Amino acid sequence: MKKLMLISYFLACKAGLSLAQVMSSEPVGINPWEPDNEIGTLNLMTDQSRQKGLSRIRS
């Protein structure tokens, strides 16, 4: 779960969203995904973008 939140936050930052917008429970803008779609922007994640994001994590 923590890894999914980190990846979601990374993708949101790449899209230019602030943490407040990401964590907000209020709907923002128009949803480009189908109503039953539960992963939204994660649809855009590729193996390359995942590797790029994970390569930035320092332990």
In the chain, which ranges are E strands? none
Better pLDDT: 49 or 21: 49
pLDDT range class, residue 57, cuts 50, 70, 90: very high
Cα dihedral sign, 4-31-47-11: negative
Which residue in 40, 32, 37, 41 sits closest to 13, CA to CA? 41
CB atoms < 10 A from the CB of 7, how many?
Answer: 17
What's the confidence (pLDDT) of residue 25? 58
